[in-house]
Structure 1
Amino acid sequence: MQDTLLSFFSFQKGTCHRKENKMATLKVPDTAPSPTQDSEKLKKAFHGLGTDEKAIIWILGHRNASQRKKIRYTYQELYNESLIDRLKSELSGDFKKAVILWTMDPPERDAKMANKALQSKDKGIDHLKVIIEIACTTSPHHLMAVREAYCSMYDCSLEEDIACRVTPPLRQLLVGLVSSYRYDKEVVDEIVAKSEAAKLRDAIERKQLDDDDVVWILCTRNVFQLRATFECYRQIYGNPIDQDIKCCGTGNLESVLQMVIWCIDSPEKYFSKVLRASVVGLGTEEDSLTRAIVTRAEVDLMKIKEEYFNMHKTSLDDAIVGDTSGDYKDFLTTLLGTRL
């Protein structure tokens, strides 16, 4: 017990931390307190004269998905109440939304965001971004877990809801993307890349972007094969494929296909654009900002930060600090690895 406490206190001073992978920004202690200790500290943060938001940020903002899951289970066992429900009652605003999304199990979190997107009454396609992100920037195993969580949470499949709520031709593409189980090893066939680049070019020249070949290629090939195909297209036809798709028109299908290609070809560039759009202009687009930080902090946010700097010649950390405030800012910068 004494060794555990010493490790915890040394981490609190910012002297003992690690990143779980080189692309993640999340910092967790080398030896974390037990789920019971964390649950007790969280319970204490909910009592007294006002909620101790700093304690909540400190604990949950320095725990990985596995640790957060154990904390939720232990908190329920100790106090016979849901940690998520308690957070909902204690917190408010964008800070509450961010903490709750972070505390949820990642597949359940993504299933919830996908369902909210499909319930949206918006006539445009911005609400579909989250579905494209889940389908095209996560691992095949995670996407399968999201589909399983969706069925459990909403008594129907993600594919069914897309089919009911999205109209053709986007319906076929999105159902195909979320149904996919891509091979996740780095295997590329250059002959196939050249052949399928030609098929994509043919569809673009005919302005038939809903062609079966387009949907089949984008929804079945592994991401490494698709990146090779996109590069082959650029070399043979002179333009990046997303630019040629843009020249086909300004409809929803063209816009969605561009997003799909960006997410597959370079997730870090895609999310850099999402983050830039969320902090530039009149007001902050908090939902996009929260989604990008929360979903990528354990995946590749370090790469996204590097790409953001390369693209915009300013740091993502500074942009978020300058555009947010209070506990919301403190929580996001904790996930960014800015705050110890």
Structure 2
Amino acid sequence: MKSFKKIFSTKSKSSHSPESSFKIGGMGSLKVLDVTPSPEEDSEKLKKAFQGLGTDEEGIIEILGHRDASQRKKIRETYQKLYNESLIDAIHSELSGDFRKAVILWTYDPSERDARLANEALNSKKRGIKNLEIIVEMSCASSPQHLAAVRQAYCSLFDCSLEEDIVASVSSMPLKKILLGLVASFRYDKELVDMDVANLEADRLHEAIKTKELVHDDVVFILSTRNFYQLRATFDCYQKKHGNSIDKDIMKLGKGDLESLLKMVILCIDTPEKHFAEVIGTSIIGLGTDEDSLTRGIVTRAEIDMMKIRGEYMNIYKSSLDDAVIGDTSGDYRRFLVTLLGGKI
């Protein structure tokens, strides 16, 4: 392999006031207080919100909906120490429905959340490509470190590896081969690209598509081991050399599960914001709302790239993502999702 060449190389009024100023990190939409209360203070307020005549749902949203992953972890640990009770268990007993599910998923450590979502998908009675979205997302739209943490969490929680459950649950051999390649990977995560390799591998992918060998060892190797910047360069070379985007050429072969899975893999690697905009859009548009997909799309990306997803949603659907969520949800569930989107009702 040739050597790789680098081509890329307000202050709060009060931490207790509802008018406290917020900060937003990176391309995420989550608004975190400039000055946050201590984990002890947050834990005490949550305990009070769970007690008394009726649950204070607004108080729960106000706290958890404005804390990042590291702050939520400290709150979970502190709550357990103070009350000898799991915060997740307390939320489960006090809340209900889609609101409860969303708050619990948000409160989990991100790696535990994805491990649980993957386990739920693999053990679901529903079968189909949609169920495998979470596994592709955590493998192709997250950092290598996050995927490694998910695999470790999966083993701890379920006494078996993620790979074992994929083998046991996914009946299609081609799908199994691709998913196993993706989840077992630990990609290089720096912005390094070798254009000679990109050109060679663009041709190799084109040859595999032309000969309908979509699960050729070379295809699985390229998609599951190359770093994301390298793959984006490869996809770009593919389009320039062969006229079509790689996902379009794959979908010309058919619209079966294999083609759909590979398209999802490519989209999550190339433009994850487009994938998640479509996940959210598909969950809202049509008859009835797919709350599980809507929750997953917002909860898993609020701290990562929700601002980009918002822009992509507008490009695809010519409407505001925030307005779509507000129009299609209600009550505390709506209030919580809008909070994670950085809005207020």
Does the TM-score normalized on the shorter chain lie above 0.5? Answer: yes
- TM superposition score normalised by structure 2: 0.95
* Equivalent of 2:101 in 97, 101, 111: 97
CA RMSD of aligned residues (A): 1.3
**Counterpart position of 1:182:** 187
For residues 301 and 130 of structure 2, the distance between their equivalents in structure 1, rounded to whole angstroms, comes to 19
* Equivalent of 1:111 in 115, 137, 143: 115
Residue aligned with 1:18, SS = strand
Deviation at 1:258, TM superposition (A): 0.4
Deviation at 1:281, TM superposition (A): 0.8
Deviation at 1:162, TM superposition (A): 0.9
Instruction: Indicate the percent of aligned positions where both proteins have the same amino acid.
Output: 63
Q: Deviations over 1:149-201 (max 9, x none)?
A: 00100111111111222130111110110111111111111111111011111
The 5 A counterparts of 1:308-327 are 308-327=313-332
**Counterpart position of 1:248:** 253
**Counterpart position of 2:242:** 237
Query: Which residue type is aligned with residue 135 of structure 2?
Result: I
Residue aligned with 2:131, SS = helix
- TM superposition score normalised by structure 1: 0.96
Query: Which residue type is aligned with residue 297 of structure 1?
Result: A
Would you say the 8 A contact 1:293–1:301 is kept in 2?
yes
Would you say the 8 A contact 1:5–1:33 is kept in 2?
no
Query: Which residue type is aligned with residue 315 of structure 1?
Result: S
For residues 13 and 78 of structure 2, the distance between their equivalents in structure 1, rounded to whole angstroms, comes to 22
For residues 80 and 13 of structure 2, the distance between their equivalents in structure 1, rounded to whole angstroms, comes to 27
* Equivalent of 2:160 in 156, 163, 176: 156
Query: Which residue type is aligned with residue 231 of structure 1?
Result: D
* Equivalent of 1:260 in 265, 279, 287: 265
Does residue 283 of structure 2 align to residue 278 of structure 1?
A: yes
Deviation at 1:251, TM superposition (A): 1.9
Would you say the 8 A contact 1:262–1:270 is kept in 2?
yes
* Equivalent of 2:15 in 3, 8, 11: 8
The 5 A counterparts of 1:1-340 are 7-10=14-17, 12-13=18-19, 15-21=20-26, 23-167=27-171, 168-339=173-344
Q: Deviations over 1:125-145 (max 9, x none)?
A: 110011001110000111100
For residues 125 and 50 of structure 2, the distance between their equivalents in structure 1, rounded to whole angstroms, comes to 36
Q: Deviations over 1:265-294 (max 9, x none)?
A: 000011111111011111111000000000
Would you say the 8 A contact 2:16–2:37 is kept in 1?
no
What residue ranges of structure 1 are gaps of 5+ in the alignment? Answer: none
Deviation at 1:6, TM superposition (A): 5.7
